[in-house]
Structure 1
Amino acid sequence: MIFGKLLPREGNFFELFNQHAQHVVEAAHAFAALVKNYNDPALREKYNKQVDNAENAADSVTREVNRLLHLTFITPLDREQIHSLINTMDDVADLLQDSAETMALYDVRRMTEEIERLTDLCVRSVERLKDAVGLLHDIGDQKVAQAALKTCEEIDQLESDADRVMRAAMSKLFRDEPDVREVIKLKAIYELLETVTDKCEDVAKLIEGVILENS
């Protein structure tokens, strides 16, 4: 199928997907900077705001995609695929914002090596997600489709890596942390960050489904 011929005049869904993915990457990088500079209150506030701004921008794109779905007679992909893809991508941005907010609400005092490792995996996952989304417009080309599938496999592997890091982090936390309050706080952060990679994997599976249906 030549998707370019099916693009609606009212808007380019693929371009909106790319815009949204870019905002998710911005949120992830801002969150990583937050973690890196957590001991500096001024920088912490700065990067928290950047995460919020990126998430709000992603929300705006999501609303626009859903608006266009109601206005467009012919869409380049199945309507349900478009709806699921943009909303699952938006879940990734929401979880990054939730992670930053939870750190503030729970008054987390320190970053751990495990938070840093999970954050790195989140950043790598959303960067690969952006790459995969960027290939969607041309998946009628077999080489492009294969490249997108390979990228999705890399996202799956990053999620598996994050799962292993979280399991080890939980074991260490319950074994070595004597303060129950710290256990509760850090457990919540670990789970949120691992869920970011879960949602990236969900997006990858949706993209794989689109490719298989349209190849």
Structure 2
Amino acid sequence: MLFGKLLPREGNFFEMFNQHGLRIVEAAKAFSHLVEHYGDLDSREKYTREIDRAEREADKVTHEVNRMLHQTFITPIDREQIHSLINTMDDVVDLLQDAAETMALYDLQHLTPEVARLAELSLKCCQCVADAVGQLARIAEAPAAERALKLCEEIDHLEDDADRVLRSAVSKLFREEPDVREVIKLKAIYELLETVTDRCEDVANLIEGVILENS
């Protein structure tokens, strides 16, 4: 009976990845809506609450995966890969929450088109992450592995775009924004959002490693 309890539950890990991926997309969509409706205080509070809720739910999934790692005798993929993947995914949600909290803490009164563009790129990256982790349960099948790798490549392109937007946005800030306080505030938001795409790229790199080792 003891050995039976230690048998792997492979589907559970992949399902946990999928659940966390959904929370990532929920947080990214809420952040995108937050930016879109930032001028409306009620909407601002509503979407901030949605981001917080998604982050809490994502944390629960992360804790469950880490707990399962200690209780599962055999895992479907390398234990370190599971640990790194779920925790890096969790970083994505944490950063989105950090960005929303920073806007509130800094009492940011207006957003720029560059914030909107970075929020859009972050959302696209998060959607690709959720789709890519959804392929992991079937990576032994060539179509699923190919799909995941294409999504990882798309994340790389989106991260490159976000990096370019960041550089251009910061340059524009220093050239055109006379208020030093606004420069500091907006630069912090730009960097947080670009880091969201960085973490998504980290997830993509981990997924590529899983595929190369297991497909």
Q: Name the TM-score, length of structure 1 as normaliser.
A: 0.95
Q: Is the 8 A contact 1:27 1:51 kept in 2?
A: yes
> Deviation at 1:11?
6.4
1:142–1:10 Cα change, 3 Å = closer
The 5 Å alignment of 1:51-90 reads: 51-90=51-90
Once residues 108 and 72 of structure 2 are traced to their aligned partners in structure 1, the CA distance between those partners, rounded to angstroms, is: 46
In structure 1, the partner of 2:137 is: 137
Instruction: Verify: 1:42 aligned to 2:38, yes or no.
Output: no
Could you say what the CA RMSD is over the residues aligned between the two structures, in angstroms?
1.1
In structure 1, the partner of 2:4 is: none
> What SS is found at the alignment partner of 1:8?
coil
Q: Number of paired residues?
A: 209
The 5 Å alignment of 1:29-178 reads: 29-178=29-178
Letter in 2 for 1:155: I
- Deviations 1:85-137 (Å, cap 9, x if unpaired)? 00000000000000000000000000100000000000000001111000000
Q: Is the 8 A contact 2:10 2:76 kept in 1?
A: no
Once residues 137 and 77 of structure 1 are traced to their aligned partners in structure 2, the CA distance between those partners, rounded to angstroms, is: 10
Letter in 2 for 1:204: A
Q: Is the 8 A contact 1:121 1:197 kept in 2?
A: yes
> Deviation at 1:9?
3.5
Letter in 2 for 1:172: K
Q: Extract unaligned runs of 5+ from structure 2.
A: 1-6
In structure 2, the partner of 1:15 is: 15
Q: Extract unaligned runs of 5+ from structure 1.
A: 1-6
> Deviation at 1:138?
0.3
Once residues 165 and 85 of structure 1 are traced to their aligned partners in structure 2, the CA distance between those partners, rounded to angstroms, is: 27
Instruction: Verify: 1:205 aligned to 2:205, yes or no.
Output: yes
Once residues 147 and 128 of structure 2 are traced to their aligned partners in structure 1, the CA distance between those partners, rounded to angstroms, is: 11
Once residues 10 and 117 of structure 1 are traced to their aligned partners in structure 2, the CA distance between those partners, rounded to angstroms, is: 38
> What SS is found at the alignment partner of 2:76?
coil
> What SS is found at the alignment partner of 1:110?
coil
Once residues 89 and 190 of structure 1 are traced to their aligned partners in structure 2, the CA distance between those partners, rounded to angstroms, is: 20
Once residues 35 and 147 of structure 2 are traced to their aligned partners in structure 1, the CA distance between those partners, rounded to angstroms, is: 32
Q: Which deviates the most, 165-174 or 7-16?
A: 7-16
Once residues 124 and 138 of structure 1 are traced to their aligned partners in structure 2, the CA distance between those partners, rounded to angstroms, is: 23
Q: Name the TM-score, length of structure 2 as normaliser.
A: 0.95
Aligned-pair identity in percent equals 69
> Deviation at 1:143?
1.9
1:10–1:17 Cα change, 3 Å = closer
> Deviation at 1:144?
1.3
Once residues 159 and 168 of structure 1 are traced to their aligned partners in structure 2, the CA distance between those partners, rounded to angstroms, is: 14
